[in-house]
């Protein structure tokens, strides 16, 4: 089975669950507070590890109580952490999350050490870049680090999966090095200028990525599942219908599950269906990493 190398952020999530999300300038009382490990990179690494993937995580945390807690958590999850770096100068990343009773959320992130995961850190971990392995990246770390990681991975013969979240402007040259891109609907509209609301716009948005050199596209659509397209074929995987409690990190769960399925040799459509099942389970539970399902739950 191929090794999975997740390169990305690690945060501590401070979550308040309340009846509704506050409007600007408004205070909503009566919420419940809890604290969870999070960060898109860490969430995806935990999802992959819990589902049986041999997972390596490259990230940077502070030398503080949050960083120490994260290191212990990754070890408990069975994630290989020899390339998790500790920053002497910057604190660990923190996310403030509001969640309402319908599972909708709003999130503000203080990146901390995540903003200082640099190309030289990736260079120190280049021994992991072996042909046949897979790297999974997001955009909560510096873009220059993402670009460098993708370039090194392609030169070494790895499969490259980019979850372009949170969305930002990407250089045109990056697309040709991506085997798979996995934006949600909001990220798709930001990157392509096309709002993916129906079959025609999903095709048009997917073709935007394919025409720039991406090999395979998956547009995640929440409760509507996922649309996928390659140059040869396309399809739509419907999501299992569940009662959502917290949608935080559902996309991270999807991405972690997708690379696990692909690393096991499942075909593209099977892997997307596997990822949809995992994501559906994750939204029935509170928290980010806490909501990631284990293999037997699928």
What amino acid positions are annotated as catalytic residues? 252
38 in a labelled binding site:
no
Tell whether 267 is in a known binding site.
Answer: no
157 belongs to an annotated ligand binding site = no
Burial class (CB in 10 A: 0-12, 13-18, 19+), 221: buried
From residue 136, alpha-carbon distances to 8, 32, 150 in Å are: 8, 33, 9
Whether 8 has a binding-site annotation, put simply, is no
Torsion over CA of 51, 56, 60 and 62, rounded to 10 degrees? 70
Strands 11-17 and 93-99: parallel
Phi, psi of 7 (to 5 degrees): -120, 115
225 is in an annotated binding site: yes
Residue 220 assigned to a binding site:
yes
3-class SS of residue 166: coil
* Strand ordering across the sheet containing 105-110: 32-38, 11-17, 93-99, 105-110
> What's the alpha-carbon Rg for the chain, to the nearest Å?
18
235 is in an annotated binding site: no
Q: Is 224 annotated as a binding residue?
A: yes
Q: Which residues of 277-295 are buried (b: 16+ CB within 10 A; e: fewer)?
A: bbbbbbbbebbbbbbbbee
Burial 25-55 (b: 16+ CB within 10 A, else e): eeeeeeeeeeebbbbbbbbbbbbbbbbbbbb
Ligand-binding annotation for 213, yes or no, is no
**Scanning the structure block, which residue is given the tokens 């396309």?**
234
Does the annotation flag 42 for ligand binding?
yes
* 223 in a known ligand binding site: yes
Answer yes or no: is 40 a known binding residue. yes
Q: Reduce the DSSP state of residue 146 to 3 states and report it.
A: helix
Residue 247 annotated as part of some ligand binding site = no
Determine if residue 201 is labeled as part of a ligand binding site: no
Q: Is residue 185 marked as binding?
A: no
Look up residue 38 and give its DSSP letter: E
19 is in an annotated binding site: no
Is 93 marked as a binding-site residue? no
From start to end of the chain, where are the E strands? 4-7, 11-17, 32-38, 55-62, 84-87, 93-99, 105-110, 134-137, 159-162, 180-181, 216-220, 226-229, 234-237
Q: Which residues are annotated as a binding site for ATP?
A: 184, 220-225, 251-252
Q: Which residues are annotated as a binding site for K(+)?
A: 246, 248, 282, 285, 287, 291
Q: Which residues are annotated as a binding site for substrate?
A: 11-13, 39-43, 140, 252
Q: Which residues are annotated as a binding site?
A: 11-13, 39-43, 140, 184, 220-225, 246, 248, 251-252, 282, 285, 287, 291
């Amino acid at each position: 089975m191929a090794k999975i190398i997740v390169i990305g952020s690690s945060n501590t999530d401070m979550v308040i669950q309340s009846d509704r999300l506050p409007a600007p300038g408004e205070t909503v009382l009566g919420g419940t507070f809890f604290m969870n490990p999070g960060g898109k990179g860490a969430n995806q690494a935990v999802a992959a590890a819990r589902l049986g993937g041999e997972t390596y995580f490259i990230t940077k945390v502070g030398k503080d109580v949050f960083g120490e807690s994260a290191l212990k958590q990754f070890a408990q999850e069975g994630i290989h952490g020899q390339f998790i770096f500790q920053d002497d100068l910057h604190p660990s990343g923190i996310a403030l999350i509001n969640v309402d009773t319908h599972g909708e959320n709003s999130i503000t992130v203080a990146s901390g050490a995540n903003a200082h995961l640099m190309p030289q850190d990736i260079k120190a971990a280049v021994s992991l870049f072996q042909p046949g392995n897979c790297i999974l990246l997001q955009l909560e770390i510096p873009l220059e680090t993402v670009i460098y990681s993708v370039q090194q991975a392609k030169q070494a013969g790895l499969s490259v999966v980019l979850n372009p979240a949170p969305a930002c402007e990407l250089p045109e040259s990056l697309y040709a090095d991506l085997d798979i891109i996995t934006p949600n609907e909001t990220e798709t509209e930001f990157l392509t200028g096309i709002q993916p609301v129906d079959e025609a716009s999903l095709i048009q948005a997917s073709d935007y990525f394919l025409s720039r050199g991406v090999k395979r596209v998956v547009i995640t659509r929440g409760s509507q599942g996922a649309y996928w397209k390659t140059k040869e074929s396309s399809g739509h995987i419907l999501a299992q219908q569940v009662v959502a409690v917290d949608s935080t990190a559902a996309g991270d769960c999807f991405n972690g599950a997708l690379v696990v399925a692909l690393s096991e040799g499942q075909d593209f459509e099977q892997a997307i269906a596997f990822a949809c099942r995992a994501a559906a389970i994750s939204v029935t539970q509170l928290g980010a990493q806490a909501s990631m399902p284990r293999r037997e739950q699928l």
